[in-house]
Amino acid sequence: MRKLWKLFALLLAFTLVAAACGNDDDDTGEPASSEPTEAAAPATEAPEPTEVVEVDPTQGCDKTYHVITHGDSGTFWSVVEVAVRDAAAAIGCDVVYFGSNNDALRQAQEIEAAIAAGSDGIAISLADPAGVQSAAEAVVAAGIPLYTLNSGVNDYKDLGATTHIGQTETVAGNGAGERFNALGATHVLCARQEQTNVALEERCNGLAETFSGQVTSEFVGLDATPDEQQNTIAAILQGDESIDGVLGVGPNLPLRALAAGEQAGRDLIIGGFDLSSDLIDEIEAGNVAFTVDQQQYLQGYLPVILMHLQATNLNTAGGGLPILTGPGFVDTANAAEVKALVSQGTR
Partner 1 sequence: MAEVTTTNDSAADSSPAQDERLAHRGPVQQLLTRPEIGALIGAVGVWLLFWLVSAPFGTAGGTANYLDVAATLGLMAVPVALLMIGGEFDLSSGSMTGATAVIVVLLSSDTAELGGAGLSLHLAVPLSLAFALAIGWFNGTLVDKTSLPSFIVTLGTFFILIGAKLGFTKLFTNKVIAEGLDRSGGYEFWDNIFGATWIRNGHVWDNRDWAWSGMLIIGAVVLILGTMELAYARREHPNRGGYLISAVGAAVGAIGYILLHNQDGKVSNWVFGIITGAGVLVAVAGWCLARYQPAERESSQEERNPRVVQYFVVGLVAIVGAILIAAVMDSNNEGRLDFLTGTPGRVFLAIGIGTTGVLAVLAALGRVSVGYPAIGAVIALIPGISYMITVQGARAILFGGLAIAGVVVLSIAARRRGLAAVFTLLTAAAVAGLAFFIQSEADSRKLRVELFTALLLIALLLAASAITRLIAARRTTAPPPPMHGPLARQIGTALGLAAGLVSLILELADGDGILYSIIMAVAKGGIVAFAVFALATLFRTLFTSDESVGRSLVFVGLGSVMLGIAAKLMFITNEELAATQASTRFGVGVMLFLAFAVLGAWVLARTQFGNWVFAVGGNKDASRSVGVPAARTKTTLFMLVSASAWITGMVIAFRLNSVQANVGDGNEFRYIIVAVVGGCLLTGGYGSAIGAAIGAVIWGMITSGIGFATWNSDWRFLVLGALLLVAVLVNNYVRSQAEKVR
234 near partner 1, rule: CB under 8 A: yes
One of 9, 19, 24, 59 touching partner 1 (CB under 8 A):
24
Work out which of 112, 223, 284, 331 binds partner 1, going by CB under 8 A.
223
Is residue 200 within 8 A of residue 227, CB to CB? The reply is no
Residue range at the interface with partner 1 (CB under 8 A); choices 22-30, 133-141, 159-167, 175-183 = 22-30
Q: Which of residues 61-80 bind partner 1 (CB under 8 A)?
A: 73-75, 78
Name residue 246's beta-bridge partners.
189, 270
Q: Tell which positions 269-328 bind partner 1, by CB under 8 A.
A: 276-278
> What are the angstrom distances between the C-alpha of 280 and each of 225, 273, 296?
21, 11, 17
Q: Looking at residues 130 to 189 of the shown chain, list those that interact with partner 1 (rule: CB under 8 A).
A: none
What is the spatial distance between Cα 69 and Cα 200, in angstroms, rounded to a whole number?
18
Q: In terms of DSSP H, where are the helices of 35-68?
A: 41-45
Nearer to partner 1, 278 or 331 (CB): 278
Q: Which of 224, 314, 319, 320 binds partner 1 (CB under 8 A)?
A: 224
Instruction: Look at residues 97, 68, 64, 101 and name the one whose alpha carbon lies nearest to residue 83.
Output: 97
Cβ–Cβ < 8 Å for 93, 65: yes
Residue 23 makes CB contacts below 8 A (sequence gap 6+) with: none
Angstrom distances, CA of residue 265 to CA of 221, 241, 260: 21, 11, 8
**Residues that contact partner 1, how many (by CB under 8 A):** 55
| Angle 194-199-203 from CA coordinates, rounded to 5° | 95
Nearer to partner 1, 8 or 134 (CB): 8
Q: Judged by CB under 8 A, does residue 215 bind partner 1? A: no
162 with 310: CB under 8 angstroms?
A: yes
HSE of 73 in the Cβ direction (CA atoms, 13 Å)? 4
Which backbone phi and psi does 167 adopt, to 5 degrees? -130, 145
- Does the footprint of partner 1 cover residue 51 (CB under 8 A)? no
Pairing of strands 290-293, 328-331: antiparallel
List the one residue from 60, 239, 319, 320 that touches partner 1 (CB under 8 A): 239
Which of 37, 102, 225, 332 binds partner 1 (CB under 8 A)? It is: 225
Q: In a 3-state reduction of DSSP, which class is residue 127?
A: coil
Q: Which stretch binds partner 1 (CB under 8 A): 58-66, 142-150, 151-159, 223-231?
A: 223-231
Q: Which stretch binds partner 1 (CB under 8 A): 42-50, 63-71, 142-150, 307-315?
A: 42-50
Asked if 334 is part of the footprint of partner 1 (rule: CB under 8 A), the reply reads no
Residue of the chain from 194, 218, 284, 331 that contacts partner 1 (CB under 8 A): 218
Contacting positions for partner 1 (CB under 8 A): 7, 11, 14, 17, 21, 24-25, 28-29, 32, 43, 47-49, 73-75, 78, 82, 195, 216, 218-228, 230-236, 238-240, 252, 255, 262-266, 276-278, 343-345
